[in-house]
């Protein structure tokens, strides 16, 4: 069985999905090269930053295969694929679609859209047991049914579930997740709430998954390295840098802003999946102006 703590350690990039036109995934090589050079260790495809829920199942396979193969050539690091869906049948279809990419794990939130009972959410995860691919549960209550302590206790008992990625921003819940995870030596925990990355490391998470790392992986890598080596001031400064970069979402929230800045740097087209719309020219100019003082921290083409 996969060691979930090792799988989720370090900095994982919840990768944006470059598109040649709205909703059409395209080549990702330049972006992957730049991320690998900056020290990123692993990828998660088709999460919220990857616009996964907006892409049809038919659009997943080719991109997943190309991205995973190239990342392994560049780094040898793991690639995870998010297969979150409204129902169990669709999640299984999405898992089958990305199987050719040989994901190191599938990432799965509780079902989206309907509110579900705890036993229904547990059954959703249990249905993945026969896929012969480890599962990382993804707690993103902004988008799906939340994972509560009772469900976390159940997930830790499922052998095929090897970790939890938490993006709730609830540090009390995250502390509970870390404590529950330690009942198994192979159960990992990662954190995606970007303003609380250092706080999460202090609680004992194994790694971080910040969306802003698509644009600025360096400060995220520095944060983990500084924390692990006991350089408290450096870790705190890295978190402050990331906090300043996150101000871009005050101009345009979400992945359109990240893609607009990456497009300006020649690393990713600006296109997004409908019903999202790409940044306007005014938004793009404002984003570039805002981030001008942070140039040293931004990803560059290699």
| pTM metric for this prediction | 0.96
What is the Cα–Cα distance from 25 to 96, expressed in whole angstroms?
18
Query: Per 3-state DSSP, what percentage of the chain is helix, strand, and coil (rounded to 5)?
Result: 50, 15, 35
- Give the whole-angstrom CA distance, residue 133 versus residue 103: 8
Residue 96, Cβ neighbours under 10 Å: how many? Answer: 14
Give the pLDDT score at 301. Answer: 67
pLDDT tens string, the chain, 302 residues long: the values are 689 999 999 999 999 999 999 999 999 999 999 999 999 999 999 999 999 999 999 999 999 999 999 999 999 999 999 999 999 999 999 999 999 999 999 999 999 999 999 999 999 999 999 999 999 999 999 888 999 999 999 999 999 999 999 999 999 999 999 999 999 999 999 999 999 999 999 999 999 999 999 999 999 999 999 999 999 999 999 999 999 999 999 999 999 999 999 999 999 999 999 999 999 999 999 999 999 999 999 998 65
Q: Using alpha carbons, list the distances in angstroms from residue 128 to 9, 55, 87, 227, 288.
A: 23, 21, 12, 35, 43
Report the relative pairing of strands 10-14 and 79-82 from DSSP bridges: unpaired
The per-residue pLDDT for 300 is 85
* Burial class of 113 by CB neighbour count within 10 A (0 to 12, 13 to 18, 19+): exposed
| Ramachandran area for residue 86 (φ above 0: left; ψ -120 to 50: alpha; else beta) | alpha
pLDDT of residue 302: 54
Are 46 and 17 in contact, with CB atoms under 8 Å apart? yes
């Amino acid at each position: 069985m996969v060691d979930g703590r090792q799988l989720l350690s370090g900095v994982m990039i919840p990768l944006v999905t470059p598109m040649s036109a709205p909703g059409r995934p395209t080549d990702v090589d330049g972006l992957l090269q730049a991320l690998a050079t900056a020290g990123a260790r692993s990828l998660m495809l088709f999460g919220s930053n990857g616009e996964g829920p907006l892409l049809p199942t038919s659009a997943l396979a080719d991109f997943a295969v190309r991205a995973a193969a190239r990342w392994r050539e560049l780094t040898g690091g793991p690639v995870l694929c998010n297969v979150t869906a409204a129902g169990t049948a669709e999640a299984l279809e999405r898992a089958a679609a990305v199987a050719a990419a040989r994901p190191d794990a599938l990432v799965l939130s509780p079902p989206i859209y309907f509110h579900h009972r705890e036993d229904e959410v547990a059954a959703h995860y249990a249905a993945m047991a026969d896929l012969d691919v480890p599962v990382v549960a993804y707690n993103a209550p902004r988008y799906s049914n939340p994972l509560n302590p009772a469900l976390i206790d159940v997930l830790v008992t499922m052998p095929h579930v090897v970790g939890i990625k938490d993006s709730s921003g609830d540090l009390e819940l995250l502390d509970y997740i870390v404590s529950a995870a330690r009942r198994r030596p192979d159960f990992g925990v990662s954190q995606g709430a970007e303003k609380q990355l250092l706080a999460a490391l202090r609680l004992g998470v194994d790694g971080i998954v910040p969306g802003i790392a698509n644009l600025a992986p360096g400060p995220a890598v520095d944060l983990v390295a500084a924390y692990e080596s006991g350089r408290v001031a450096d870790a705190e400064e890295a978190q402050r840098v990331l906090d300043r970069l996150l101000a871009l979402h005050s101009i345009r929230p979400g992945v359109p802003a990240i893609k607009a800045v990456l497009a300006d740097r020649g690393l990713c087209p600006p296109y997004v999946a409908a019903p999202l719309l790409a940044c306007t020219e005014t938004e793009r100019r404002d984003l570039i102006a805002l981030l001008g003082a942070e140039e040293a921290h931004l990803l560059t083409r290699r």
